[in-house]
Structure 1
Amino acid sequence: MALNNFLEFFQKGKTFRPKKKFAHGTIRYSLHKHACASLNSGINLRGAVKLPQGEDLNDWIAVHVVDFFNRINLIYGTIWEYCTEQTCPTMSGGVRFEYLWADGDKYKKPTKLPARDYVNLLMDWVEMQINDQALFPCTNDLPFPKNFVAQCSKILARLHRVFVHVYIHHFQNIVAIKAEAHVNTCYKHFYYFVTEFDLVSRKELEPLAEMASKIAKDPAL
């Protein structure tokens, strides 16, 4: 499933929040175009996530963090009206997995929240990280901080929880709009990327381990 098809499909529906974009003329913009071209060419996704020769790993990770943020926003935007306090009183992935929100600011202690509130706070938090030029420098003359990869791992682990919630609690809504192939492709891309660079722990990936196993065995997913 080409990236353009994915974006066109979801942009026909509701958008949870505005898309983040890369500035023209920057290395990150070029890498974003390179990544999109690889996906649209029909290349195997496992190969598409590999670091291009001669490129900086931090730049490659930065591009994908922003891209996944945008795509997961689009996916959640299609089902958020079904994700209410009544249907989803907690942010969870079935009975075994429940996620509590903490940000060290307003929520200093892990707090149980309705899924919609959790996702809203999560997206605000990720957007704040992406907009922080001390963490995501926008020009080549500014260095990445030493904790950049660790912070991106935290961002991606939390974004993965949105996949978990959508797959386990709202997949019927995704099927109803015939979007399951698009969501599967997005998750497959995400999964290959985070496992290629060991960015999300197996414990965080566990709720969708069965899905990941199917992805590995069936290239059509």
Structure 2
Amino acid sequence: MASSVLSSKKSRTFRPKKKWEKGTMKHELHKKAKASLHSGVDLRAAVRLPPEETYNDWVAIHVVDFFNRINLIYGTVSDYCTDATCPIMSGGQKYEYLWADTDRYKKPTALSAPQYMSMLMEWIESIINNEDVFVVQAGVPFPKTFIPICKKILTRLYRVFVHIYIHHFDKLVVLGAEAHVNSCYKHFFYFVVEFKLIEGKEFEPLQHLTAKLCY
């Protein structure tokens, strides 16, 4: 588990907590989605909305799964991603990501990569654990803001991939995590493209990698 290599300062943030309660419709949907990924089905086909499922439910279970998986992926390299090594949350020399929220940072603010990651994971966790947004009860409608919120979550999670691939790829190779991260990236990319959940400009930092892995 990634959490075993994290410092106590980081362990609370980089530990996925969101799970669908067993026996609920979303838990069954979650199992179905995961099963399709291990049955030899092409990832492009696996992300498509099943005819018997609803769009919002399908997006919800994938957002939670991607949060959990990307959270742990970052955890594998977080010991190498420090204020000293990564004083800017960036994706190479051309791309810098500023942090803003409605609480502590109301204006876009430059943070170190680990500070940005910590704020991001806590922010996402607070949203997906809010049952007024990520509805868990059958028959209760999602709010109108649900998809815009998911787009923002997924866009920011994509930036985690950008930072890891550009600044810590060598560590992924040493740790033997390259194949796993590549698979997760492909799954994520196919999903957000299938449902147009991230603007095209966000893909620019990894366009060459994407062309190699996904096309």
Q: Smaller-chain TM-score range?
A: over 0.9
Q: Deviations over 1:122-173 (max 9, x none)?
A: 0000001101111111101321011211110010000001000000000011
CA distance in 2, matches of 1:209, 1:158: 17
Which residue identity lines up with residue 49 of structure 2 in the other structure? L
Aligned residues: 209
Q: Which residue of 1 aligns with 2:160?
A: 162
Which residue identity lines up with residue 144 of structure 1 in the other structure? F
Work out which of the residue numbers 145, 164, 170 in structure 2 matches 1:147.
145
TM-score, normalization: structure 2? 0.93
Greater mean deviation of Cα atoms: 207-216 or 50-59: 207-216
Greater mean deviation of Cα atoms: 169-178 or 17-26: 17-26
Which residue identity lines up with residue 89 of structure 1 in the other structure? P
Q: Which runs of 5+ in 2 are unaligned?
A: none
List 4+ stretches of structure 1 deviating above 3 A. Answer: 9-15
CA distance in 2, matches of 1:71, 1:33: 15
Which residue identity lines up with residue 27 of structure 2 in the other structure? Y
CA distance in 2, matches of 1:129, 1:159: 14
CA distance in 1, matches of 2:126, 2:204: 27
List aligned pairs for 1:84-163, cutoff 5 A: 84-163=82-161
Q: Which residue of 1 aligns with 2:60?
A: 62
TM-score, normalization: structure 1? 0.91
Q: Which residue of 2 aligns with 1:17?
A: 15
1:33 has 2:31 as partner: yes
**What is the SS of the residue equivalent to 1:41?**
coil
Which residue identity lines up with residue 147 of structure 2 in the other structure? V
Q: CA RMSD in A?
A: 1.5
CA distance in 1, matches of 2:34, 2:155: 22
Which residue identity lines up with residue 98 of structure 2 in the other structure? L
Cα shift at 1:11: 7.8
Q: Which runs of 5+ in 1 are unaligned?
A: 1-8
Q: Percent identity?
A: 57
Q: Deviations over 1:4-63 (max 9, x none)?
A: xxxxx8688667213421111111111110111100112100000000111100000000
CA distance in 1, matches of 2:102, 2:122: 14
Q: Deviations over 1:79-126 (max 9, x none)?
A: 001001110001000000000000021101111011001000000000
